[in-house]
Amino acid sequence: MIQDIGPRHLFNEYHEEKPSEGDTCFLFRDGQILAASGEENRMEYPRYRDFREEDRKKFHFVYLLRVDERKCFLAVGRNLPEEVQFTQPSGFSFFPVNIFRKAMPKYMAFAAVTAWHLNVWYRDNQFCGRCGKRMKPDHRERMMRCSCGNMVYPRISPAVIVAVTDGSRILLTKYAYGNYHHYALVAGFTEIGETLEQTVSREVMEEVGLKVKNIRYYKSQPWGLSGSLLAGFFCDLDGDGTITLQEEELKEAEWFEAADLTPQADGISLTREMMAKFRADHTGE
């Protein structure tokens, strides 16, 4: 999965720090990231030294994280929400953040997708939701603080990925909207007041009209593109397997035999890993 970057490690502890010349600086704009593309999906991200002196003054460089010793910062325009005019470092241009699904090296793609998640949180918490004043970053932890006493921590939305199985069959779906067009599993966000297991039952019922039992937790995955923490579950069909499609959300939902799945763990997504595991468990391949 995207977070599996061993032997490297992503350290997300917050502290205040200024960038040095060689530090990576992620810069996002309208769902895009400033990067340079090389061969075989290799992406480079700008370093602090790539920004011209006069342009550096137009941004706050917020410390985000490090992968081993490589420190990563977020370049935030000083005059939000207006767009900052600056000279793009030579060789760099903006790419949709979806490139993280394929970008190499994977440890930097994981750093960048984590940076995107934090970027969205910083972007959306400039002003206090309680009193409307401008928020300030806390000095000791990653938190935005307001003079009215409001404290806002990074938001992570729990969600489930569900493999509904019936013997050697598994239920696959295709979303009606969005830019992910491959077969996927049932998925959805946890509602307030709900356990993860209840989310599983509710989402399966809503999306395909099926009852499930024997819900088993598999693994979890941070998924910064949607600001979520995904929890993967396997479960068994309970009763009739006739699908009633929720057409607002899904374009397609079908039972597939394990042997008919193409092996497709991509080393990135929990969904793919779960599909590949199901196939392997039932075909021995």
Question: What residues line the site for Zn ion (CB under 5 A)?
Answer: 128, 130-131, 133, 146, 148, 150
Residue type, 284: G
CB 136 to Zn ion: min, Å: 10
Nearer to Zn ion, 12 or 147 (CB): 147
Q: In whole angstroms, give the CA distance from residue 208 to residue 173.
A: 9
Nearer to Zn ion, 152 or 196 (CB): 152
Task: For residue 118, give both structure tokens.
Answer: 């934090």
Q: How far is Cα 254 from Cα 232, in angstroms, rounded to an integer?
A: 19
Nearer to Zn ion by C-beta: 98 or 150?
150
* Min separation Cβ 130 and Zn ion, Å: 5
Q: Which is nearer to Zn ion, 42 or 139 (CB)?
A: 139
Question: DSSP letter at 89?
Answer: P
Q: How far is CA 120 from the centre of its chain?
A: 11
User: Minimum distance between the CB of residue 123 and Zn ion, rounded to whole angstroms?
Assistant: 18
Q: Which is nearer to Zn ion, 9 or 139 (CB)?
A: 139
Q: What are the distances in angstroms from CA 264 to CA 64, 102, 140, 212, 276?
A: 32, 14, 43, 25, 6
CB of 128 to Zn ion, least distance (A): 3
Half-sphere exposure of 253 (CA within 13 A, CB side): 27
Name the minimum Å distance from CB 125 to Zn ion.
11
Q: What phi, psi does 231 have (nearest 5°)?
A: -115, 120
